[in-house]
Amino acid sequence: MAKVMAIGEVMVEFARGADGRYGLAIGGDTFNTAVYLARAGVETGYATAIGDDAFSDRIFAAASGEGIETTAMLRVAGRMPGLYVIETDGRGERSFNYWRDTSPARDLFELPGWETVAEALVEASMIYLSGITLSLYSNVGLGRLLATLEFARERGARIVFDGNFRPRGWGGDVGRARAVYAEALKRSSIALPTYDDEATLWGDGSPAATAERIATFGVNEIVVKNGASGALVRAAGVSHLVPIPEPVEPIDTTAAGDSFNAAYLAARLGDVSPEAAAEAGHELAGRVIRHRGAIIPRQANA
């Protein structure tokens, strides 16, 4: 299958278990997708920066253990990764608290060695990133990332963008977020947004409105995820609603969208139709939300 490079941040994760105690794991939106892509047999690499502490060692080992290529994971002396805590309510809906302002991932495209990261991205046939990815970087870092994406696209790579809007990551600057998202969408072949996020950022009145707006940027394959209401797939100008196969009582909705994206892309790389790929996305997401945390045990992923 084609080589996929994902870009973003891996953090230390604390999630409350059924007994009320917190368990330690790792996660991050694009990293979660990279893990599920690798488990699907897709050759996958990850671009980020981590520290040289024990937690960073654990992140590096976990990526390697999942079969993710780590040559674009820079190590920075004296730095530590970010941390987040997941809280879930009685319906399994999650909320997050972050400690990540000094994470080395934020400096990825300004660190010594960033050119090596850019080269790895340009060599990929698919590049995957999210709105959270974009929120990490300064204007200098964003400029280098966007230029790299443009060059990769000119060489035939498909750019995949999941909006994944988190207002806190943008410091409440909606105008900057919209401007940066627009630049990412101009370079994208596939968009995998979540409707609630798009409504928050852009004020879209429906998933169809989200798909129409994104199509104006020249994106020709769009999947608008909408939770229990299914997913709206728009490809070649034609839209289809793909419902979830069956209702699921979630335990924890963390990484529902991330896992959907992985199954969708794995299916598309296997030349499956967009509609059937969305069905595969629903199936994996339905399994993931029956477990706590972002990355479920490998045996549950089978």
Catalytic residue numbers, as ranges:
258
Q: Position 205: which residue type?
A: G
d(CA 184, CA 135): 12
Token pair in block for residue 291: 């477990």
Token pair in block for residue 278: 């969305």
Pairing state between β 126-130 and 4-7 = parallel
CB atoms near residue 237 (< 10 Å): 7
Q: Position 94: which residue type?
A: R
Q: CA quadruple 4, 7, 13, 19: dihedral positive or negative?
A: negative
Q: What angle do CA 78, 133, 60 make, to 5 degrees?
A: 45
Token pair in block for residue 45: 């690499």
CA distances (Å), origin 12, targets 1, 27, 44, 81, 258: 30, 7, 21, 7, 17
3-state secondary structure of 113: coil
The overall longest dimension of the chain from CA atoms, in Å, is 52
Beta bridge partners of 231: 225, 242
d(CA 78, CA 11): 16
CA distances (Å), origin 136, targets 37, 190, 300: 23, 21, 31
CA distances (Å), origin 76, targets 47, 60, 103, 112: 14, 12, 10, 9
